[in-house]
Structure 1
Amino acid sequence: MDQKHKQYVETLHIGHVRPEDIPWRRLGQYLYRILEDGSQTQMRLCMIESLIPPRSDGPVFHFHEMHDEGFIVTKGKIRFHTPGAPPIDAKAGDIITVPIRLPHKFSNPFDEEGVFINTITPGFFVRYFEYLEQLIGEGTKLTTEANIAALKRFATVPLDEDTIMNLIEESKANGDDGVDIDI
């Protein structure tokens, strides 16, 4: 190991987080907490824990231009949607991955709260949550307008209803049979 590598390694340490020590923050009707803000990974990875109340719609359909996401469901169930494909109902213990540029959203149409840990790589998207929190302020509901404004600021493209319908129609034209989606 060369000297520069040794010096770099000396600056590193294993990150250890106890979620129970991190207070929940509010995003309208949702709760979240930042488990890893990217500071341990030079912004290559961040982790957010989110609590989605029963019978809640999630964010608008969108795709990310610069980061992949992983979702590890830890409580309840979360429904994941992509236009032109059947929804996936992920239960506690299930893992969902969403690659760059795949249109998606999630929701909790079920009768119990859902909780998941969201991994984001690279990790700069962690700032989306903080910015969205500022936009909502003391508001009690996450609005579509605030969601779209925050997404656009972080290399994420929100999809309008016409675009979603076009994606569904293209899927049907290609013979895909899974078009059961909520808009």
Structure 2
Amino acid sequence: MDQKHKEYIKALHVGHVRPDEIPWRRLGQYLYRVLEDGSQTQMRLCMIESLIPPRSEGPVFHFHEMHDEGFIITKGRIRFHTPGAPPIDAKAGDIITVPIRLPHKFSNPFNEEGVFINTITPGFFVRYFEYLEQLLGDGTKLTAEANIAALKRFATVPLDEDTIMKLIEESKANGNGDVDIDI
């Protein structure tokens, strides 16, 4: 190990988070808390815990131009949607990964709340949650319009219904069969 590396590691430490000590924050009808804001990883990774109420829509269909996502379901079930593919109902203990540029969204159509930890690499997307919270203010329901406005600021492309339908049609034309897509 060279001297520069030795000096660098003196500034590092293992991050330790106790989620129970972090208050939940509100995004309309949803709750979230930042478990890792990227400060421990030079913005290479952030982690957000989210609580999605029963019978709730999540974000609009979108894709990220600059970051991958992981979802670790810790309570209940969350439905993941990709145009042209059957939805995936992930339950507690399941892990979902979403690569850069894959159109997706999630929802909770079930009768119990769902909770997941979202990993984002690189971690700059943590600012999306903070910006969206600022847009919504106190008690405002999360709307598609607010969601789209916030997504556009963070290298994320929201998809309109026409684009989603084209993706579904292309998937069927490519032999991916009939799929049931919730739009």
TM range (shorter): over 0.9
In the TM superposition, residue 140 of structure 1 has moved relative to its aligned partner by 3.1
Report Cα offsets for 1:15-52 as digits up to 9, x if no partner: 00000000000000000000000000000000000000
1:23 paired to 2:19: no
Once residues 178 and 128 of structure 1 are traced to their aligned partners in structure 2, the CA distance between those partners, rounded to angstroms, is: 34
1:95 corresponding residue in structure 2? 95
* Structure 2 unpaired stretches of 5+: none
In structure 1, what residue type is equivalent to 2:51?
L
2:136 corresponding residue in structure 1? 136
In the TM superposition, residue 178 of structure 1 has moved relative to its aligned partner by 4.7
In structure 2, what residue type is equivalent to 1:68?
D
How does the TM-score come out when normalised to structure 2? 0.99
Paired residues, number: 183
Listed as ranges, the matches of 1:39-118 within 5 Å are 39-118=39-118
Once residues 131 and 5 of structure 1 are traced to their aligned partners in structure 2, the CA distance between those partners, rounded to angstroms, is: 36
Once residues 6 and 83 of structure 1 are traced to their aligned partners in structure 2, the CA distance between those partners, rounded to angstroms, is: 48
Deviation larger for 86-95 or 140-149: 140-149
Q: Percent identity?
A: 90
C-alpha root-mean-square deviation of aligned residues, in Å?
Answer: 0.6
* Structure 1 unpaired stretches of 5+: none
How does the TM-score come out when normalised to structure 1? 0.99
In structure 2, what residue type is equivalent to 1:106?
F
Once residues 14 and 138 of structure 2 are traced to their aligned partners in structure 1, the CA distance between those partners, rounded to angstroms, is: 36
Do the aligned partners of residues 34 and 174 (structure 1) sit closer, same or farther apart at CA in structure 2, a change above 3 Å counting?
same
Once residues 130 and 165 of structure 2 are traced to their aligned partners in structure 1, the CA distance between those partners, rounded to angstroms, is: 31
Once residues 135 and 176 of structure 1 are traced to their aligned partners in structure 2, the CA distance between those partners, rounded to angstroms, is: 39
1:13 paired to 2:13: yes
Aligned to 1:100, what secondary structure does the other structure show? coil
